[in-house]
Amino acid sequence: MKLGIVGLPNVGKSTLFNSLTKAGAESANYPFCTIDPNIGIVPVQDERLTVLGNLYNSEKVVPAAIEFVDIAGLVKGASKGEGLGNQFLSNIREVDAIVHVVRCFDDSNVIHVDGSVNPLRDIETINLELIFSDMEMLERRIARTSKGAKNDKALAKELELLERLKTHLENGNMAKSFTTDDEEENALLDGYHLLTYKPVIYAANVKEDDLADDGVSNEYVKQVREFAEKEHSEVFVICAQIEQEIAELEEDEKKMFLEELGLSESGLEKLIRASYGILGLISYLTAGPKETKAWTITKGTKAPQAAGKIHSDFERGFIRAEIVNYDNLTECGSYNAAKDKGLVRSEGKEYVVQDGDVVLFRFNV
């Protein structure tokens, strides 16, 4: 999963990015890497993996991972070359969802680029830049498609879609509010990688005092939640400053620190949960002496396609999947004990893989 982090300067975006990636690097057995200063890979903490790793005496435990892309320098006018934004906007064309950090705190020591705190204005500023960037991309695509549309019905149909979509954006709308019942058009929409077509998770950045009640008493957070509800987006409340402090702590210290703040989970854990929710993702697990690993798939994925996440040969030569529920497996204490109790099932090509399934694929190529 790949998430792009956007936000105006001084909203806590870079603080959040740095703390999330540092926390991830130090808290799990995953080869953390920074590809460049704007990209960090973070493991998805999953206690089930630790339990299975111990059960199977696995040589290594490999969690699922999230790649964060920090889009620096995004300001009003970025799509026209202001700041550094335009050169970075291309970095999030390929992300699965956008994390939009919004400032929801007053602090005279932290200057706001527009002179005052107004989360809805900030959201509109960023959204307009994303719309402008998408319009520029559509204009180039329209120019290319127009050349062949006169003699090609498929291109003519696509050109008509592109022009409708461009009009929709010109009216200040996000691409994700553009609707069509045509399957071909929906497939084309998916392939354009428009920034405004992507799901959005709003990170409402608050002061420490607002964390305990999850921002309920914060008027700014209330505004963001109401806005997000209208566009079917997710919201989670964080304090970037606290996340930075958490990132410096050892695992056992983190839990104590969170408890003192009256929190059950860190901002990173909130973000991961929101990401999986908005993208409709689940994890199935594989376990053995060599490796225990989590695999991220979309809800509704059938067994052969889930197998293909491991290797294309697994999907091509799929025979069956031997499946045991994680809770049943851990209660029985071993795979063989679960099998003796009839809790290991043999499933075919139509089986829809569930979250927490521990799977052994049988295939023949």
DSSP string for residues in 316-342: HTEEEEEEEEHHHHHHHSSHHHHHHTT
Q: Burial, 336: exposed, middle or buried (Cβ in 10 Å; 0-12, 13-18, 19+)?
A: exposed
pLDDT in tens, 100-155: 999 999 887 776 776 788 999 999 999 998 898 899 899 999 999 998 888 889 89
In this prediction, residue 49 carries a pLDDT of 96
Beta pairing partners, 30 = none
Residue listed under structure tokens 């890497």: 33
Compute the average pLDDT of residues 67-76. Answer: 73
Other Cβ atoms less than 10 A from the Cβ of 109: the count is 4
- Examine the pLDDT at 25 and tell me if it is beyond 50: no
Q: How far apart are CA 111 and CA 91, in angstroms?
A: 27
pLDDT band at 75 (very low <50, low <70, confident <90, very high): low
332 vs 29, higher pLDDT: 332
> Kind of pairing, strands 65-70 and 2-6?
parallel
Compute the average pLDDT of residues 228-247. Answer: 90
pLDDT band at 28 (very low <50, low <70, confident <90, very high): very low
pTM above 0.85, yes or no: no
Q: Which long-range contacts (CB under 8 A, 24 or more apart) does 176-179 make?
A: 176/231, 177/231
Q: How far apart are CA 299 and CA 33, in angstroms?
A: 28
Compute the average pLDDT of residues 331-355. Answer: 95
Compute the average pLDDT of residues 296-306. Answer: 96
81 vs 74, higher pLDDT: 74
